[in-house]
Structure 1
Amino acid sequence: MSRRKGIFLVLTGAIFWGIGGTVAKKLFLLQIDVDWLVTTRLLIAGFLLLAVQFFRKDRSQILGVWKKRRDAIQLLIFGLLGMLAVQYTYMASIKHGNAAVATLLQYLAPVMIIVYLALRKQAALTRRDLLSVSLALIGCFFLLTNGSISQLSVPSPSIIWGILSGIALAFYTLYAIPLLKQYDSLVIVGWAMIIGGFALSFIHPPWLIEFKSLPLEVYLYLVFVIIFGTMIAFWFYIESLQSLLPKESSLLGSIEPLAAVITTVFWLKEPFGLFQWVGTSCIILMILLLALNKGSSQKAH
């Protein structure tokens, strides 16, 4: 029963993540500003995650993370250069392109981590790593060109923001390790979201919007992106680790880009060529390959 619950939680969370990106694109089409959405999303989701920690887990950690100066500085850096960078670049890529391409480009982060660790000589490249890198490069080529070298099938700003999103996610993943060894992930991610949202508030305060002029569908989409696509998606993924191995959760979580692609193509009616489907398949295969090897990689690390 516990295992079934874990599988349900990780699949639900990953699907919410994937659909959340597509719903965000719908909000951008309805003239919602990307700065405002990222600010609002981070602040509300961050407070909700800390609320979950307060009522369900060790509440002393919520303030305890700020008691050590080194941890506090690391958390501030993680919130600004990790969380805020990941969220903003991802949403900007969606705004200029679509959720499918943005999500798939962000999922290049594991390959970037492999290359970074190899260059730093902290990990040796294996045949599986080389295959993963090859699949990522082939997948990106077909995804972004649809098989035509003469022109890109995706707007260049979306590609640039998407690649930056992958770099930000790679930093986010590596930099958070020391903090996550000491504190619950809900505390670290909750505070990181609040830090990122607060910083972006100086550029676009969340209250500077004509709420009365917004149609009902905008409110419904906002609720989905903030509650389901951010807060519940992350919470469910973390909860799934109580009954599943990290490798299993990571593997099942790879349904996220597939959910983003399907909803982008069939709900928003975004054009998606044959070779883009081939590229998508290559990137998803790369994700599965890395997820299946995650257990042995962790042991080697």
Structure 2
Amino acid sequence: MLSRVKGIWMVLAATVLWGLSGTAAQFLFQQTVIQVDDLVFIRLFVSGILLLLLARWREGSGSIWRVWRDRFSNYRLIIFGLLGMLAVQYTFFVAIAEGDAATATLLQFLGPLFITIYVALRALRWPTGYELLAVGIALCGVALLVTNGRFTELAVSKETVLWGLASALALAFYTLYPIPLLRKWSSTMVVGWGMMIGAVGLAIVRPPWQIFNIDWNMTLLGFVFFVVIFGTLVPFYMYMESLRYIQPSETSILSSAEPLAAAISAVVWLNVSFGFFQAIGGVCIMLTVIIISKAKRKIAQDQKIGGSL
């Protein structure tokens, strides 16, 4: 029982830190000179190095290089780093820069819904009642979130909506694509290399040495440090460790704390305007994760019963 409570608190702390890091990023984009490209590169590069060092410490000095000697894994890792890790980070932060952390986080939270739709299509089966319910609630939630109940006009910018939905799609790819890699290698190693590859890919487009031209001060350094360490490394480690004590279906439900933390911190700290119907829309989007979790549990139970007959 104590282990389960520990796991619950760990995943809650991780998701709250992720939510707060989005608000911290919004502050950086609005109040400092740092750009999206700069923050994404720093986050990927520094977090990638730290995760690989952690993997080296936990698995041995030569462990982190074995993945590159595996012909099956190395090309998948490159695709994951560029189309998964870099894409999900970049689209999410652009959505924040174009709008606010609360809206961007809630739109990205549609990722599990896209995963559910993809899995149903790939399995050539009709969606379950729970899945159809999740789709309907999600569509209503998005409509309320982006219009605040006034369906003739948007309450947020079109760019925010497009980048937010792009981040949800990227999150779905980021979640599904590395599954074969995670069966062979540790999550720390896969995510660490994914971040490093994403950083290199971004560096080709935007030379990383431009970050040295930024007028750094203690406030800027402090918030960047928070986004990199307490918004990336610490919550990732806590989230993965929580899976030792509770079920993945429980972590997906508890992850609803992330958009909630982002919304509350953005409203209270940065005075982001969040209308009544937008709040209802946000609740609807968070409910979809709970419904999808129930749908997965029911499908698993049905398969188990069918296999035992």
How high is the TM-score relative to the length of structure 1? 0.95
- % identical equivalent positions: 45
**What CA distance in whole angstroms lies between the structure 2 residues aligned with 1:11 and 1:198?**
32
2:105 partner amino acid = T
Query: Map of 1:115-264 to 2, 5 A cutoff?
Result: 115-210=117-212, 213-264=215-266
Asked if 1:68 is matched to 2:70, the reply is yes
Please say if residues 88 and 174 of structure 2, whose CA atoms lie closer than 8 Å, have aligned partners that are also in contact: yes
Deviation, structure 1 residue 238 = 0.4
Deviation, structure 1 residue 56 = 2.6
Give the corresponding residue for 2:267. Answer: 265
Deviation, structure 1 residue 291 = 2.8
**What CA distance in whole angstroms lies between the structure 2 residues aligned with 1:178 and 1:21?**
29
Q: Indicate how the Cα distance of structure 1 residues 122 and 68 shifts in structure 2: closer, same or farther if over 3 A, else same.
A: farther
Deviation, structure 1 residue 151 = 1.0
Please say if residues 15 and 257 of structure 2, whose CA atoms lie closer than 8 Å, have aligned partners that are also in contact: yes
**What CA distance in whole angstroms lies between the structure 1 residues aligned with 2:19 and 2:299?**
26
Give the corresponding residue for 1:16. Answer: 17
**What CA distance in whole angstroms lies between the structure 1 residues aligned with 2:131 and 2:214?**
52
Please say if residues 253 and 290 of structure 2, whose CA atoms lie closer than 8 Å, have aligned partners that are also in contact: yes
Alignment RMSD (CA, Å): 1.7
1:227-248: CA deviations, max 9, x gaps?
A: 0101111111001111111112
Give the corresponding residue for 2:29. Answer: 28
2:28 partner amino acid = L
Deviation, structure 1 residue 5 = 2.3
1:39-90: CA deviations, max 9, x gaps?
A: 1100100111111122234554411111111210000000000110000000
Deviation, structure 1 residue 192 = 0.2
1:103 partner amino acid = T
Give the corresponding residue for 2:88. Answer: 86
Greater fraction helix: 2
Deviation, structure 1 residue 123 = 4.3
**Runs (4+) of structure 1 moved beyond 6 Å?**
none
**What CA distance in whole angstroms lies between the structure 1 residues aligned with 2:102 and 2:299?**
28
Please say if residues 130 and 294 of structure 2, whose CA atoms lie closer than 8 Å, have aligned partners that are also in contact: no
Deviation, structure 1 residue 210 = 4.4
Give the corresponding residue for 1:42. Answer: 44
Query: Map of 1:105-124 to 2, 5 A cutoff?
Result: 105-124=107-126
Q: Indicate how the Cα distance of structure 1 residues 152 and 2 shifts in structure 2: closer, same or farther if over 3 A, else same.
A: same
Please say if residues 116 and 292 of structure 2, whose CA atoms lie closer than 8 Å, have aligned partners that are also in contact: no
Q: Indicate how the Cα distance of structure 1 residues 89 and 297 shifts in structure 2: closer, same or farther if over 3 A, else same.
A: farther
Aligned to 1:214, the other structure's residue is in SS state coil
Gap runs ≥5 in structure 2: 305-309
Deviation, structure 1 residue 14 = 0.6
Aligned to 1:202, the other structure's residue is in SS state helix
Please say if residues 45 and 193 of structure 1, whose CA atoms lie closer than 8 Å, have aligned partners that are also in contact: yes
Gap runs ≥5 in structure 1: none
**What CA distance in whole angstroms lies between the structure 1 residues aligned with 2:208 and 2:299?**
42
Please say if residues 251 and 292 of structure 1, whose CA atoms lie closer than 8 Å, have aligned partners that are also in contact: no
Q: Indicate how the Cα distance of structure 1 residues 188 and 295 shifts in structure 2: closer, same or farther if over 3 A, else same.
A: farther
Give the corresponding residue for 2:4. Answer: 3
1:128-171: CA deviations, max 9, x gaps?
A: 00010011100000000001112101111111111111111111
Q: Indicate how the Cα distance of structure 1 residues 72 and 215 shifts in structure 2: closer, same or farther if over 3 A, else same.
A: same
Deviation, structure 1 residue 298 = 5.3
